[in-house]
Amino acid sequence: VRGMIFFSTNDDLLSSMDVVNLEMLIFLFVSSALAAGTMIIPGISGSMVLVLLGAYYPIMTAIAEKNYSVICIVMCGSIFGIALFARIISYLLNTYFVSFYFIIIGFVFASIIGIFPYVPFSLSSIIPIAFGFLGFVFAYSFYFFYKK
């Protein structure tokens, strides 16, 4: 979370919702499409994607100010993103089922660090992570051993 705040943009373009221009609307459409698309995948938060892209504050400001033109663009971008990512994920699951499934499991395991950001990492917390990784490698190798 701290890294996402570091990488977020702080443009004057996005600081005020009084002036809505085409560049900002395109940015909000693409940002909401990416955020909504990532909500389909477990372990990835759409609101964190919006924070990372620097679009969270302008969207929340538009909702608070009831700026319906911006809200409509965000809704259209979200619908587009869900439809696009659903097709992409469907293709990847049909074509590369095992590999993509393990990628999703990796996202879920990695999201644990984001859920508990203030847990100090020490030897006692690394050992379970290492055994979890070894179990993952063990299960993955058994899959390929029995596949042949």
Helices (H), the chain: 2-7, 12-15, 22-38, 46-53, 56-64, 68-95, 97-115, 123-147
Amino acid residing at 52: L
Contacts of 3 (CB under 8 A, 6+ apart): none
Contacts of 111 (CB under 8 A, 6+ apart): 42, 43, 44, 45
Per residue in 73-123, pLDDT tens? 999 999 999 999 999 989 988 988 888 887 777 777 766 666 666 666 666
Per residue in 52-73, pLDDT tens? 888 999 999 999 999 898 999 9
